[in-house]
């Protein structure tokens, strides 16, 4: 039994924060609000931005199911939502994009979070974040999109986050917030291929799976003491900390690079995929959290969770092109339109505040619209053009 509803919203166009030139065509994005058990459909068009409809996701009436991750398939016909709270485990849901019609579900692990569909549309990969309970190694689920069958659950390390697949569909990248690791999964063999220690000054690429907890290297174990144990990336690290506390992994469009957001050190580690070594560390905003890259590979857009802002970074030079403050606190996810023109950014808000989606023009480097959605807005994605 499931609880799925749809309702049209009579929302006025959100007032633009700056004098804006809105697009002549319409862009559509979906955002999940974790505390409201709701997915909102947002349109940006000639008249600005607005919520055009929303629908509920979950089975629990009294308690939130917690929709967290949201991912569209490449063709845009279906999208997937992970609900993090469950009894005892979470669920991956499938919906038809145009009508929000329920298309199936599958139970996954503890607190399934970030999700992405492979480029060929055959699989959706979801990290099981395992926020609650003992700090033990968790795993990554691989699910067939046609049958919604979980075909693998691959152990990585503690609190996996930032599920991203390379453009070839052969490698999956995630980070482990409590183990200082970037993990690469071979999607053909359905096993961990390599891992990378991200602690500043002790960076090292290695083959195979990360060591089990209790057998972590001395440098990683020392770094672990500085982690934000809440798993939310909001705690301010101690001065001089070298703890990365990774929160996101973003492969480049040409599959040559993976950028990792180090929430603890507020920088990005750029890893060369071929040599499995550090190219450079790039300064970022305070508490950099999630990342997205334009399809032409020229710009990185980063949410700064402690900094209440969004950074636009030149991917080639590492220079920060703009830092744009957000209206509300706890900045979360980023999704970029398929023509690289706009970035849709989810902001959770605090307490009784609604969540917000802020829309950035990546040419003028200005925020052009803000739209209120359900509380604790998180997972976000853009619908492909028809």
Instruction: Parse the chain into domains and list their residue ranges.
Output: 3-227+241-382
pLDDT at 134: 74
Kindly report whether the peptide bond that precedes residue 88 is cis, defined as omega within 30 degrees of 0. Answer: yes
pLDDT at 215: 43
The single residue listed with the structure tokens 């994009």 is 97
pLDDT at 31: 98
- pLDDT band at residue 15 under the 50/70/90 scheme: very low
pLDDT digits (tens, 9 = 90+) for 102-144: 999 999 999 999 999 999 999 999 999 987 767 889 999 999 9
Is the Cβ–Cβ distance between 17 and 370 less than 8 Å? yes
Rounded to 5 degrees, φ, ψ at 221 are -65, -40
User: Is residue 165 scored above 70 in pLDDT?
Assistant: yes
Higher local confidence (pLDDT), 84 or 56: 56
Q: Which residues, other chains included, contact 237 with Cβ-Cβ below 8 Å and sequence gap of 6+?
A: 226, 228, 243, 245, 264, 265
* Protein fold of 3-227+241-382: Methylamine Dehydrogenase; Chain H (2.130.10)
What's the rounded mean pLDDT across residues 44-63? 87
User: Is residue 221 scored above 80 in pLDDT?
Assistant: no
Mean pLDDT of the chain: 89
> Which run of H or of E encompasses 220?
helix 218-224
pTM given for the model: 0.90
User: Is residue 163 scored above 90 in pLDDT?
Assistant: yes
Helices and strands (DSSP H and E) totals, the chain: 1, 30
pLDDT at 2: 55
pLDDT digits (tens, 9 = 90+) for 291-324: 999 999 999 999 999 999 999 999 999 999 999 9
pLDDT at 62: 60
pLDDT at 370: 97
């Amino acid at each position: 039994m499931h609880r799925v509803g749809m309702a049209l919203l009579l929302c006025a166009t959100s007032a633009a924060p700056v004098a804006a030139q809105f697009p002549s065509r319409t862009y559509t994005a979906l955002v999940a609000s974790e505390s409201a058990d709701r997915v909102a459909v947002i349109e940006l068009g000639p008249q600005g931005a607005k919520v055009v409809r929303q629908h509920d996701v979950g089975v629990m009436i009294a308690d939130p199911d917690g929709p967290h991750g949201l991912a569209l398939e490449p063709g845009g016909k279906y999208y997937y939502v992970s609900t993090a709270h469950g009894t005892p485990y979470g669920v991956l849901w499938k919906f038809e994009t145009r009508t929000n019609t329920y298309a199936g579900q599958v139970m996954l692990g503890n607190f399934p979070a970030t999700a992405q569909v492979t480029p060929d549309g055959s699989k959706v990969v979801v990290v099981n974040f395992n926020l609650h309970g003992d700090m033990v190694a968790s795993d990554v689920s691989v699910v067939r999109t046609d049958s919604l069958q979980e075909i693998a659950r691959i152990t990585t390390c503690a609190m996996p986050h930032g599920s991203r697949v390379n453009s070839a569909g052969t490698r999956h990248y995630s980070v482990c917030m409590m183990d200082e690791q970037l993990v690469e999964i071979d999607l053909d063999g359905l096993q961990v291929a390599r891992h990378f220690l991200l602690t500043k000054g002790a960076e090292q690429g290695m083959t195979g799976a990360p060591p089990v907890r209790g057998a972590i290297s001395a440098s990683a174990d020392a770094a672990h003491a500085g982690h934000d144990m809440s798993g939310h990336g909001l705690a301010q690290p101690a001065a001089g900390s070298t703890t990365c506390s990774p929160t996101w992994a973003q492969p480049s469009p040409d599959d040559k690079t993976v950028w990792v957001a180090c929430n603890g050190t507020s920088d990005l580690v750029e890893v060369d995929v071929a040599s499995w070594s550090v190219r450079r560390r790039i300064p970022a905003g305070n508490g950099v959290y999630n990342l997205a890259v334009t399809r032409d590979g020229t710009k990185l857009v980063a949410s700064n969770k402690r900094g209440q802002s969004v950074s636009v970074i030149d991917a080639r030079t590492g220079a920060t092109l703009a830092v744009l403050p957000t209206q509300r606190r706890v900045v979360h996810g980023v999704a970029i339109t398929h023509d690289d023109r706009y970035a849709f950014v989810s902001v959770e808000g605090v307490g009784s505040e609604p969540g917000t989606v802020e829309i950035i023009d990546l040419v003028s480097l200005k925020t052009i619209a803000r739209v209120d959605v359900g509380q604790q807005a998180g997972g976000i994605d853009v619908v492909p053009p028809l």
